[in-house]
Amino acid sequence: MIKLIVGLGNPGLQYEKTRHNVGFLFLDRLSVGFGCAWSESSRFEGFVSDCLVGDQKVLLLKPQTYMNKSGESVGKVVRYYKIKCEEILVVHDELDFDVGISKLKFGGGHAGHNGLRDIIAHLNSSNYLRLRIGIGRPVTGRSVADYVLSELSKKDWDDLEFVFERAQKAIPKIVSDEMPVVMNRFNMK
């Protein structure tokens, strides 16, 4: 059962609509869809939202520590609420998937993603669920840092809208622990 959904991104208006912020963007959509309000928490170094998904209470978290320090915020929430790693879903951008592709994955390494690297370090575990949302790779010669911090094109927004809609529909089943069914359906192209 999922008790905490974390969206990864960077705080600040300059990053708001960038590829690296798809985790924040998806959580914003979830909070609206489930009728939840955000509040800033200095204790957790992030924005939090208590949501009711079906009959399950779920906490949404957008760390405000910048991507590379996401684990600080996640670790504080996990320790305070005594949440197990297996009860966490982290939503993040994925360079290895084209825009419009998303997959669920349990556990594994960070694959060079600094937000995941920091979460793994603070939790001392990689045993949490991930929703990997494709942002594609930069063209040869363009730096990855510049690419992930660039704004999305109109076509990319349209493709992300499809991914967000599909993922939002899957969240109640993910939260209620119907993972084998959800993963089989969600990870199909």
Kindly state the average pLDDT of the residues 18-35.
96
* 4-186 classified as CATH 3.40.390.10: no
What pLDDT does residue 125 have? Answer: 97
pLDDT class of 187 with cuts at 50, 70, 90 = confident
Give the orientation angle of helix 114-123 with respect to helix 70-81, to 10 degrees: 30
pTM of the model: 0.94
92 noted as active-site residue: no
- Does residue 42 have a pLDDT over 70? yes
Tell me the CA distances in angstroms from 162 to 29, 101, 145, 175, one per residue in order: 12, 9, 25, 20
Out of 20, 92, 113, 122, which one is annotated catalytic?
20
pLDDT class of 110 with cuts at 50, 70, 90 = very high
> Is 120:160 a contact under the CB 8 Å cutoff?
no
Q: Please name the amino acid found at residue 60.
A: L
150-184 per-position pLDDT tens digit: 999 999 999 999 999 999 999 998 998 777 777 77
So where are the chain's domains?
4-186
